Structure 1
Amino acid sequence: MASGMRALVLTCMVLAPWLGAGSAAGFRGDARLVARASPGRHLAGFFGNYFQATRARRALPSADEPDDSPVPAGGDASVTLKRIDLTGNLISEIEDGAFAKLPLLEELSLADNRLVRLPALPAKLMSFNANNNLLKTKGVKATAFKKLTRLVNLYLADNEMEAVPQIPEMVRTLHLQNNNITDVNVNTFCRANDTYYLRPSLSEVRLDGNPVVLSKYPDSFTCMKVLPIGRYR
């Protein structure tokens, strides 16, 4: 028993320096790894760079979002505008190219002005308001809204229009009250050559305050889920 204990002690004495050296080397190796991984101020720098890079990537605007990054010298910050409200001015004319450099514009109000014709409109508009102007049908091209595939709200009330322009598929709200519209036809809202055609998005149409008697045109609303508000007798 005593000899066994002496052998164990001797073994420990022989192995201890080797184990110590190995542990120290391992510790120094770990220390070097941690140092490279950034202890202290380096740690903050490492994560700072990571989060900065993440923020930079997230800050890149998608196709439908405005670019908030600084505008270079000589650049134009207006190209990032999403909403313009020109309500209640004395505007009588707007050139066709006035909104050409606003590709991200989604909301535009020209209400309560003196416009007799509409300019070309940005393709991404979702809401357009031209209520209470002096617009006649000849001043609003039949295809003025045809390419506005994202248009949801269209307000053309209190003008002098004689006919309903082409309405994009996605429109939900259409206000044409208090104009001079005298008739509608099957192709105004529906399609004469497609009896299965439906317009589920169109949920509010106002034609009240117009001379047109809507009950004379029962086939003009068969594709709609609601009848227009207006005169029926």
Structure 2
Amino acid sequence: MTLSWLVLVPIKSTRIGKSRIALDPESRRRLARAMALDTVTAVAAADRVGGVWVLVDDPADGDLFRGMPGVCARRTGVVGLNDVIREACGALPAMGGDDSRPVAVLPADLPSLEPGELDDALRQAVAVPRAVVPDRQGTGTTLLAARDAAQLRPQYGPGSFAAHRVSGAAGLQLPDDSGLRCDVDVIADLAGVTGRYTRSEAGDLVSPATDRQGVG
């Protein structure tokens, strides 16, 4: 039987997030929102995903996802990424969910993610209690997954990939150019991005995209 995963996508307020991207504040906010739309659209389309919770501290960011099938925007009541994730997992029973269901966490800055890439990672994650995927630099975390939400144990912060591995998460094998590893922190990371919302918003900042049709 194929497990149905709940995916959490935390979004730091786009009014202040992505500060390392060298744009004026309004342009940076629009770009962050476009990347979030591309990310959540891909996540919601993955076959192994049964639901998406977008965790926002700014209600205006949550409005982006209104009416999107399978997606629920939830206002966070705590500060700090690890606490935001723990709060969401703790809310599962109150929402009629199961706190032992499989849960995964992705950042909202994966605009080149393809649904099939996420499906492949979640397929691998089923084989272990807890799994992690590194970003393209190999230091950060772009996917944290646990078959039991109570065992997710987020360790986000500097060097989070190593922290998750040390705490027992298995590292998953994905290609270096997988959209699941290609987060965007600086302008240079937009090279070859494929997400349509991001490409439309970034315009000339985005170099011609690599043909990634058929991924997954």
TM-score (norm 2): 0.21
Choose between structure 1 and 2: higher strand proportion: 2
Higher Cα radius of gyration: 1
TM-score (norm 1): 0.20
Q: Which has the higher contact order (CA 8 A, sep 6+)?
A: 2
